[in-house]
Amino acid sequence: SDADAQAAPGHIDPATLCDVYRYRRIGENTRIFGVIGDPVMHSRSPWIHNPAFDALGIDAVYVPFHVDDPRELLTACADLDVDGLSVTIPHKERITDLLSSIDETVREVGSCNTVVRRNGRLDGYNTDVRGFLTAVSRLFADGAPPRRTTVVGAGGTARAVLHALTGAGCEVLVVNRTVERARELAERYGCLVAPLSKDSIGLLRSYSALIVQTTSAGMKPHDDLDPLWFYDFDGSETVFDVIYAPPETLLLSRAREAGCVTSNGWRMLLEQAYLQFELFTGGKYPRERVAPTPPHVEG
């Protein structure tokens, strides 16, 4: 479809098909990589991996797979000859039981964001932990996150964030709509748990030096949601939202207007993707030759 008149969801315009996915150069020997999720068509990962394949002369393509159930795609990986996958919301936790092996970080975190197929085996890795810590460290002068922090959500990305923060010596408060779901995290990481509601305002304020938002609230089709709608920022907080499309969620917009230091998830996406690229190809990402660009602000 034309970029300005999409005929159906998921349609790609001709320029993107040729320039990003290099459609005219795909042949029978082209290696296939991709990202699975629900939703996933917003993913900017193809704009990170495909230019790197091109820069290094690697005959490969990286595409999005909209998957409701990861078992369906993993079963088809052999037929499609898929060599590697990035894994995003909501499959990071459920995919771990479907793999041949998992690395130590996946075992500790319980969340997998990278799958590599080797000799018929599906091996799982987690690059989110290092990707997040590298990204969030850039927000602080001494390169270290503050002692008391809050994590919003209790899914696969939250697990990676918690692993990174507690490993860096932080005391963490987890706020989640379903408190029971966060109990396991409290037991695993020794963190506090509270409901995602007005009742938690007092506790949240004492753990607000860094607030990390890890849910899909703020991302299409939930871009009208602000998970911390009840909390008024005073400007002292640093707010990190793992969402990068849109570039500024309602949460980040409110925080910025209040004078907070804010960051979306673009840098985290890049850092974890660089590590994925090494797992996929065995080589370093060509940072000096490829500079992926974040999605533009809409409207």
For the annotated catalytic residues, the residue numbers are 92
Cross-strand pairs, 118: 121
**Alpha-carbon dihedral sign for residues 23, 28, 32, 36:** positive
Element containing residue 125 per DSSP (H, E): strand 121-125
- The SS3 assignment for 209 reads coil
> Rounded to an integer, what distance in angstroms lies between the CA atom of residue 271 and that of residue 127?
8
> Rounded to an integer, what distance in angstroms lies between the CA atom of residue 240 and that of residue 131?
13
- The SS3 assignment for 194 reads strand
Which residues 6+ apart lie within 8 Å of 298 measured at CB? 246
Distance (Å) of CA 285 to CA 61, 125, 281:
15, 17, 9
Chain center to CA of 25: 29
Which residues 6+ apart lie within 8 Å of 173 measured at CB? 148, 149, 150, 151, 191, 192, 193, 194, 203, 204, 207
Q: Does residue 67 contact residue 87 with C-beta atoms inside 8 Å?
A: no
7 DSSP assignment: S
Task: Give phi and psi for 213, each to the nearest 5.
Answer: -100, 120
List the Cα angle 199/202/207 in 5-degree steps: 120
Q: Does residue 180 contact residue 186 with C-beta atoms inside 8 Å?
A: no
